């Protein structure tokens, strides 16, 4: 039966059914969009935390690369042979 042959009540039911299906699709898209936004916010937060941790690790690496003359605590520094100090460029044999 075509849409033209339907009674007004049947046509209204058909349109209502279509509207409900479309609303369900819209609702699912909203939920997915919210999940994507939450995931993006988590990713940004993790990226910021990762950058901060990377900066702390880089500072620790630089501190460990100082020679005894440059280091704040030379007893904690272990330099391999033929190493050049990161800060004063002194060569160690």
Query: What's the pLDDT tens digit per position in 1-41?
Result: 566 677 888 888 999 999 999 999 999 999 999 999 999 99
The model's pTM: 0.45
Instruction: Give the start-to-end residue ranges of the domains of the chain.
Output: 3-76
Write the CA distances from 85 to 54, 61, 76, integer angstroms.
22, 12, 15
Please provide the size of the chain in residues.
93
Three-state DSSP string of 3-43:
HHHCCHHHHHHHHHHHHHHHHHHHHHHHHHHHHHHHHHHHH
- pLDDT tens digits, 41-92: 999 989 889 999 999 888 887 777 666 666 555 444 555 656 666 666 666 5
Record the tokens describing residue 48, joined without a space: 């910021």
């Amino acid at each position: 039966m075509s849409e033209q042959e339907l009674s007004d009540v049947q046509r209204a039911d058909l349109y209502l059914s279509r509207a409900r299906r479309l609303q369900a699709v819209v609702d699912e898209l909203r939920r997915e969009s919210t999940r994507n936004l939450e995931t993006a916010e988590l990713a940004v937060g993790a990226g910021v935390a990762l950058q901060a941790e990377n900066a702390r690790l880089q500072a620790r690496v630089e501190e460990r690369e100082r020679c005894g003359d440059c280091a704040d605590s030379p007893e904690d520094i272990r330099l391999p042979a033929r190493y050049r100090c990161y800060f004063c460029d002194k060569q160690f044999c």
